[in-house]
Amino acid sequence: MSGQNGWIDQVEKMKGEGMICYGRVRLRAVEPEDLPRFVQWFNDPEVVENLNMYLPMSLVEEERWYEGLAQMKPAERPLAIDARFEKQWVHIGSCGLMDINPTALNAELGISIGDKRYWDKGYGSEAMQALLQHAFETLNLHRVYLRVYKSNPRAIKVYNRIGFCEEGCLREDRFSHGQYQDTLIMGILRPEWDAKKENRG
């Protein structure tokens, strides 16, 4: 097929290659057509409540952010999360690894399911499993850690269930709603991930 449809088919085919899959989710590279959804999600107070974001975001800013991705280390580029829903792939959020330390073999993980309609359906847990499998079994990392607000019980439940343990508390690290709040550091080591994996069968 030629023309625009052929080009779209080509992009769809490329997206099908080299993706990180687990259960009902796949992690893929961010595409320009994802940007309006990011802008919508990152202007949603309920979503940003749990993220380190507190200013309104414009599409132009998001487009500049996208242009900057090419300068980032490939393994640290954010990934789009697609969920399998009613026989279709739906873009529901993003996740990624940051600050990969090449000697200590650790990295910080971040995740956001921006489309609230997909919260509490297990997709966040599956996206975490996909990203951790990639971190440990492809990138050969030894430790993955994250920062989570103590006021975010949904996320803490997911991280505990996956095998993260609380490594520390940054007291009064955040200022939100007129108050200082605590941030937890949680982490998981490769042997802990392997043990959990054996239990999963």
Ligand X SMILES: CC(C)(COP(=O)(O)OP(=O)(O)OC[C@H]1O[C@@H](n2cnc3c(N)ncnc32)[C@H](O)[C@@H]1OP(=O)(O)O)[C@@H](O)C(=O)NCCC(=O)NCCS
CB of 106 to ligand X, least distance (A): 17
CB of 118 to ligand X, least distance (A): 6
Question: Which residue's CB is nearer to ligand X, number 2 or number 48?
Answer: 48
CB 27 within 8 A of CB 81: yes
State which of residues 30, 80, 113, 184 lies at the interface with ligand X (CB under 6 A).
113
Q: How far apart are CA 80 and CA 102, in angstroms?
A: 24
Alpha carbon distance, N-terminus to C-terminus of the chain: 44
Told to check if 152 binds ligand X by CB under 6 A, we report yes
Question: Which residue's CB is nearer to ligand X, number 73 or number 116?
Answer: 116
CB 130 within 8 A of CB 22: yes
CB of 129 to ligand X, least distance (A): 10
Task: Fill in the DSSP letter of residue 34.
Answer: G
**Residue 56 Cα distances to 39, 70, 113, angstroms:** 9, 24, 18
10-35 in b/e form (b: 16+ CB < 10 A) is eeeeebeeeebebeebbbbebeeebb
Query: Which of 53-61, 69-77, 147-155, 162-170 is the region at the interface with ligand X (rule: CB under 6 A)?
Result: 147-155
Told to check if 43 binds ligand X by CB under 6 A, we report no
CB of 194 to ligand X, least distance (A): 21
Query: Which of 16-24, 63-71, 154-162, 187-195 is the region at the interface with ligand X (rule: CB under 6 A)?
Result: 154-162
Contacts (CB under 6 A) with ligand X, residues 83-102 = 93
Q: Which of 52, 51, 71, 135 is nearest to 101 (CA)?
A: 135
Told to check if 78 binds ligand X by CB under 6 A, we report no
State which of residues 30, 47, 131, 184 lies at the interface with ligand X (CB under 6 A).
47
Site size toward ligand X (CB under 6 A) is: 22
CB 132 within 8 A of CB 96: no
- Kindly list the residues in this chain that would bind ligand X in the complex (CB under 6 A): 47, 50-51, 93, 111-113, 119-125, 146, 148, 152-155, 157-158
